Amino acid sequence: MSFYDQLVKQTEAARNELYTVPQLVDGLGGRISRDTYIAYLTEAYHHVSHTVPFLMTMGSKLPQSKKWMHKAIIEYLEEEVGHEEWILNDIAAAGGDKEAARASTPNLETQALIAYNYDYITRKNPVGFFGMVFMLESTSTQIANKGADAVKENLGLPKKAFSYLYSHGELDISHMKFFEETVNQITDADDQKAIIEVAQNTFRLFANVLRAIPHEGQVKHAA
């Protein structure tokens, strides 16, 4: 079994837990309000604004023996620059205040997701950040386009209010193939363990980010 296949298998439980979060379930069915969608985008803005700094920090912390990973990091950097501004533009197109979103304080759950990754990169193993990359990109390919279509239709919002979701639904399909090729080159057991650990934990942390988004549908799912 390739390391990528091991990663998929080892994160199955955490991934399935994420897909039971009421906000995500209702989002995929288009059963969320405009306020909930904007609240989701606001939290997405806060964590996505750290993607480039995460990658830069990871690259700076790699030991000389792992500098070959810089090529993959650079490719991700080139793809990710400016995506947080796409999210702010989506907020404006959905009728929200993008400058208020920019200036807002992220929910504690979002702060925890951000802080966990910086801590892991700088204190434990920078290679582990590939686990966060796997969580975000595998999630996008599974839910981005479907969720965008459903919410757009239900709320009657313009397509330009979903540029972030649509772009990631399309981009991350090709990204996943590149990711698979990259991580299958990682043979160090400690690095593999770190990637799996971060992936498992970030699926859980991202689930908490979604659970913290105000959503009137959560009561009916409580049972």
How does pLDDT run across 1-36, given as a tens digit for each residue?
899 999 999 999 999 999 999 999 999 899 999 999
Rounded Cα–Cα distance for residues 15 and 173 (Å): 17
How does pLDDT run across 143-185, given as a tens digit for each residue?
777 788 889 988 999 999 998 888 865 555 667 788 899 999 9
Task: Give the residue extent of every domain in the chain.
Answer: 3-221
The reported pLDDT for the residue numbered 176 is 79
The reported pLDDT for the residue numbered 221 is 42
The reported pLDDT for the residue numbered 220 is 45
Q: At 217, list the tokens.
A: 């549908």
Q: At 219, list the tokens.
A: 């009561």
The reported pLDDT for the residue numbered 6 is 96
The reported pLDDT for the residue numbered 172 is 55
* Nearest C-alpha neighbor of 218 from the set 73, 24, 51: 24
Which CATH number fits the domain 3-221, given the four candidates 1.10.260.40, 3.90.930.12, 1.20.910.10, 1.10.1740.10? Answer: 1.20.910.10
Rounded Cα–Cα distance for residues 120 and 116 (Å): 6
How does pLDDT run across 44-82, given as a tens digit for each residue?
999 999 999 999 999 999 999 999 999 999 988 988 888
